[in-house]
Structure 1
Amino acid sequence: MAGIAVIGAGMGAMAAAARLAVAGHRVAVFERGATYGGALRRFERDGFAFDTGPGLLHLPAVYRDLFVKTGREPLESCVELSQVDPASRHVFADGTAVSLPNASRAGVVEALDGALGAGAGERWSAFVNRARDAWDATRRPLLEEPLRPDWQVLGRDPYPAVRRRGLFGRGKGPTTATLAEVARRELADPRLVALLESHALAYGFDPRSAPASAAVLPYMEQTFGSWYARGGMRALADALYERCLARRVEFTFGAEVTGIVEKDGRAAGVELADGQVAGAEFVVAGGDPVRLAAMVPGGPLWGAEDVGPEVRPERAPGRFTVALALRGARPGDAAHRTVVHGEDRAAELAAVFGEGAGPRAVCHGPTVTVLRPDDPASRPDDDHEAVTLSATVAAGGPWDREAAEAAADRLVERAEAAVPGLRERLLWREVLPPADDEPVAGPALAGREGRFLRPANRTRIPGLYAVGGRSHPGGGPAHAGMSGAIVAGLIVNGEDWRGSA
């Protein structure tokens, strides 16, 4: 069978490699870094361990399918997955708090009514019902299939906005809007608005410009649940790497690919930084499509009529992380994930998405996600606790030490709403600002004339494919895994393949 060169060892690239290897192809992976897993990173020190990328898995069916299709052992035989309950706890700017149960529509309605007042749950439920319509309309074209040649049809927002009322809206049909406009019009309560917009912010989307179809983000979480892998999300990367090795995928680390070799008008291998050339009949490239395009001097990989890598209207922000080692046991009733919502929505959105990078900083009261896994693998013993704080911050860099420490101080101060007495329990902290080439990558979204789509997996060079969170169908562990499935499907089944039935 054909030899395949894979650039990068992120989750999308490894998902493609495992599927291609089990189909009988010889697969070699070239990773410029020292390890695999892409965004699923883990920081360890003194017996403590912290996820520094995505902390939870949504849509676990993507990896269940991957492991079933690539070997005899199912996913749960390789990774211990469990649903976290509550799925999340939210502390709003006015001090109101609510815990939302995992994958329970009725439970979420009851919890919101109890915390925010009668009717809040029903408003949220009606919104999620409309989000379901958007999910049903886009699930296949934006998750399970290659990006369609007539991708322009995905520029229309499928979110079924409510009909306008009032003197100037009477008789007019549904309108499309940004996520922020939908939130203001349909949810009304600023706490429900914050709940919705926090999902967008976590994926690096500005709710003021993101399409209403971004409503699928909370829908996916609420419908398919939030799952944690014992040993952290890095355990999922470990399992996929081991599956690749079992299927005889070859990995070379510290191997930077600097060019794509072409022969007779198609991809024929990769050129490494040390001058070596590895021949291949197909090349699968993970990472940044802009960087991939720079490896091919012969012309653009995506034409003017295609979805290009510069299609997003703003630079994707990054994830600022602080790892905290605490003395004292984790309370048994602690929520795995708590979102402490921002104090000033306008100021936070301006700081994260405003024009011009300026000095690196966070706003006064940022939205902070607090992860407190009940996982013995995360701590040296039961008399200690590992806590991870993260916030979405503006793109650009670098972060100097003073700015990073000041930002960490703000995250720790905010996190005390989720972990009372946090600073008194602190043994040490590690500040992990984002690198400029590590943006938060969200899934592709329909609407807004296609500005939130991702470059197609197929390129204009036969035999060269793009994979991973910055290509179709976008970022997040599940979507990256699906990009690997799509690329493998195109190579194994041919260019006319339109996705699994």
Structure 2
Amino acid sequence: MARIAVIGAGMGAMAAAARLAVAGHRVAVYERTRTYGGALRRRERDGFSFDTGPGLLPLPAVYRDLFLKTGREPLEECVELVQVDPSSHHVFADGTRLSLPNTSRAGVVSALEETLGAAAARRWGDFLVRAREAWDRSRRPLLEEPLWPNWQVLAEREPYPAVPHKRLLRTRVAGTLAEVGAWELRDPRLVALLESHALAHGLDPRATPASAAVLPYMEHAFGTWYVRGGMRELARALYERCLARRVEFHFGAEAAGIVEKDGRAAGVELADGAVAEADLVVAGVAPGVLDRLCRGTRVRAADDVPAQRGAASRVTVLLALRGGRPEGTAHRTVVHTGDREAELESLFGAPAAVPARPTVTVLRPDDPALVPDAGHEAVTVTAVAPGGSEGAPDALAEHLIAVAGRAVPDLRDRLLWHEVRTPADIAGETGAEGGAVPAPALAAAGGRLLHPSTGTRLPGLFTVGGWSHPGGGLPHAGMSGALAAGLIVEGPEFRGSQ
């Protein structure tokens, strides 16, 4: 039985802690803030409650497996999972509105045919078939297995099937998501639908590899889910599962360094000078924090996947509205920008800034637990922002509220109050420089969108969370915990879930 110190109480860190405790290890978690959950936070005010991090759960099988492997109570006995249907509602620049059903390719194609026409529906249906092929090729190495030592194969291999396109008398194959949209989908509304999946993760579709086709495929194939009471309830359930497995939590305990002894990780030095000795250390922190904790020790070799830095962040506006949620309202509405090029140049150009009219996601949960009574509604509006970007909160709020008005026509008349969450708030909660939010790992693109391995070059030190393989997002964070636990329990021969 090993003593294991876990730095951070994010979802990946707690997933690892629960699995390691079940395997018989003594696990202690050291979290610099006063609560658990990482980005899964909650803001409460005047009887309203809002998720300030992820608002929906894709691929719930990851957490079903976690709860199955760590206790007798399955996930559904610990939280109430609700399948969101429609999966999403879209408001396009030309005013077209489209609702997509959950986990039904046939239903999606039918909805597209009714709204955008038979040709557009056929092209999207064909695209989903190719996206499934990309998913089948990349699922295990990018989600279920530790990062391959020869990760360069993933960097070079594009799992999205080649669809030759003749342009200027030359036959070419789409290499980016933007090219997939322009050459294979063609309808600007389909392009907006496709690219919104990249934008949601802070990725520029013009530079994002075609392998990102797996992002919309995952949503169509496995559905979109909500946790009743807010997504924070998922963090609460995992925290309680850790406690039930006798994981120790120390809040307000900031790590100042990783102790090394005889050439291996041997504990954690805390900011108050105390030292928590351990046989193994699991770090669920951002790259800059890991560098500081290691105090100059190189834990990644020169030929390892480099840590991602400078990722995009988020701006979120929390809206308290008078008047109840209208019946039939979609849980999630994506309002697409009217000027794609201007949006991309603002977000990914130099200097980067929040666009004047960004693509925004409006979440309107049908959940009585979030409001003081049936005569009110809690709405969350989110847009991508450059990491570290600053701006007057009121001006940022005006940007997003103006766009959200296309999804909630009477928004300003119903508005009681609002609060703005900026990249600085995310930085304060997660420790990530500039409030950066990690994207999921993707193949191709020279490995630029891969994340470093869970194992490190310092014996006894492992990493978890969105900044480690397999990257950002709730499912990926959960899998990082499974991979770290597998490598610790079974050793380097561990090959992931079967």
TM-score calculated relative to the size of structure 1: 0.96
Q: Specify the alignment match of 1:179 in structure 2.
A: 177
1:115 deviation in Å? 1.2
| 2:374 counterpart of 1:376 | no
CA distance in 1, matches of 2:341, 2:200: 16
Q: Specify the alignment match of 1:266 in structure 2.
A: 264
1:161 deviation in Å? 2.4
Secondary structure at the counterpart of residue 255 of structure 1: coil
CA distance in 2, matches of 1:364, 1:291: 33
Q: Specify the alignment match of 1:473 in structure 2.
A: 470
Q: Specify the alignment match of 1:144 in structure 2.
A: 144
Which residues of structure 2 form unaligned runs of 5+?
Answer: none
- Could you tell me which of 384, 397, 405 is aligned with 1:416? 405
CA distance in 2, matches of 1:250, 1:166: 61
CA distance in 2, matches of 1:112, 1:388: 26
- Whichever residue aligns with residue 396 of structure 1, its letter is G
1:168 deviation in Å? 3.2
Secondary structure at the counterpart of residue 159 of structure 1: coil
CA distance in 1, matches of 2:144, 2:404: 37
1:140 deviation in Å? 0.5
- Could you tell me which of 210, 232, 247 is aligned with 1:212? 210
Identity within the alignment, %: 68
Contact 2:388 2:436 in 1 (8 A): no
CA distance in 2, matches of 1:204, 1:167: 32
- Whichever residue aligns with residue 266 of structure 2, its letter is A
| 2:360 counterpart of 1:354 | no
Contact 2:165 2:183 in 1 (8 A): no
Contact 2:486 2:494 in 1 (8 A): yes
CA distance in 2, matches of 1:51, 1:121: 34
Contact 2:163 2:174 in 1 (8 A): no
* 1:215-269, Cα deviation, whole Å (9 max, x unpaired): 1000000110000000111000000000000000000111110111111111100
* 1:68-98, Cα deviation, whole Å (9 max, x unpaired): 0000000000000010110000000010000
CA distance in 1, matches of 2:417, 2:271: 39
1:404 deviation in Å? 1.8
> Please, which moves more after superposition, 235-244 or 424-433?
424-433
- Whichever residue aligns with residue 219 of structure 2, its letter is E
1:178 deviation in Å? 1.0
Secondary structure at the counterpart of residue 462 of structure 2: strand
CA distance in 1, matches of 2:314, 2:21: 33
CA distance in 1, matches of 2:106, 2:460: 49
TM-score calculated relative to the size of structure 2: 0.96
Q: Specify the alignment match of 1:430 in structure 2.
A: 419
CA distance in 1, matches of 2:170, 2:398: 48
Secondary structure at the counterpart of residue 474 of structure 1: coil
* 1:31-79, Cα deviation, whole Å (9 max, x unpaired): 0011110111111101101111111101000000000000000000000
- Whichever residue aligns with residue 102 of structure 1, its letter is N
CA distance in 2, matches of 1:68, 1:318: 33
Contact 1:157 1:176 in 2 (8 A): no
Which residues of structure 1 form unaligned runs of 5+?
Answer: none
| 2:325 counterpart of 1:330 | yes
Secondary structure at the counterpart of residue 213 of structure 2: helix
Contact 1:352 1:395 in 2 (8 A): no
Contact 1:289 1:466 in 2 (8 A): no
Secondary structure at the counterpart of residue 146 of structure 1: coil
CA distance in 2, matches of 1:245, 1:217: 33
Contact 2:11 2:235 in 1 (8 A): yes
| 2:81 counterpart of 1:81 | yes
Contact 1:289 1:455 in 2 (8 A): no
CA distance in 1, matches of 2:181, 2:286: 32
Contact 2:137 2:159 in 1 (8 A): yes
- Whichever residue aligns with residue 210 of structure 1, its letter is T
- Whichever residue aligns with residue 449 of structure 1, its letter is G
1:294 deviation in Å? 2.4
Q: Specify the alignment match of 2:298 in structure 1.
A: 300
CA distance in 2, matches of 1:88, 1:305: 41
Number of residue pairs matched by the alignment:
489
Contact 1:131 1:219 in 2 (8 A): yes
Q: Specify the alignment match of 1:395 in structure 2.
A: 387
1:118 deviation in Å? 2.1
CA distance in 2, matches of 1:244, 1:202: 30
CA distance in 1, matches of 2:341, 2:296: 45
Secondary structure at the counterpart of residue 114 of structure 2: helix
1:298 deviation in Å? 4.9
Secondary structure at the counterpart of residue 164 of structure 1: strand
Secondary structure at the counterpart of residue 295 of structure 1: helix
1:290 deviation in Å? 2.9
